[in-house]
Structure 1
């Protein structure tokens, strides 16, 4: 994520991260290019993780209890 891209959308950051991964899988990069791509990818991954963490904190599931009252529960992922 380059300077001035602090307002990037999550979807755009994820797409760029995928592009970087594809590009790095090619054998056409010099060490310097690889390091530059890796650094950008790490910044994008950190950005995406922060966005996902923030979204998870905001998510609530609205359920009806047995008396048809609407209750709100925090969203948690179930472990498999």
Structure 2
């Protein structure tokens, strides 16, 4: 990530990504400006994807079986 984006939270990165998309869609930018923004957007999108993936893994539920073994199951919001 660019130096000024290194300590962003997921929410901040997501907001910055949205702002970049709006600029790319609404403003007439030079090719260099557009490429710089696109590069930052790709970095931010990857950061957000990795952050969401890590959060999903943390939401995995650890269940203890009757015999004492532990079973890792994916977290699901749907009721089955």
The TM tier, using the shorter chain, reads 0.7 to 0.9
Counterpart of 1:6 in structure 2 is 6
Cα offsets for 1:25-75 (capped at 9, x unmatched): 02411101000000000000000000000000011459xxxxxxxxx8421
Helix, strand or coil for the counterpart of 2:54?
A: helix
Q: 1:77 Cα deviation (Å)?
A: 7.9
Counterpart of 1:36 in structure 2 is 36
Q: TM-score, normalised by structure 2?
A: 0.73
CA RMSD after TM alignment: 2.7
> Unpaired segments of 5 or more residues in structure 1?
63-71
Give the Cα separation in 2 of the matches to 1:77 and 1:36. 39
The number of residues matched between the two structures is: 71
Give the Cα separation in 2 of the matches to 1:77 and 1:42. 29
Q: TM-score, normalised by structure 1?
A: 0.73
Helix, strand or coil for the counterpart of 1:75?
A: coil
More helix by share: 2
Counterpart of 2:17 in structure 1 is 17
> Unpaired segments of 5 or more residues in structure 2?
63-71
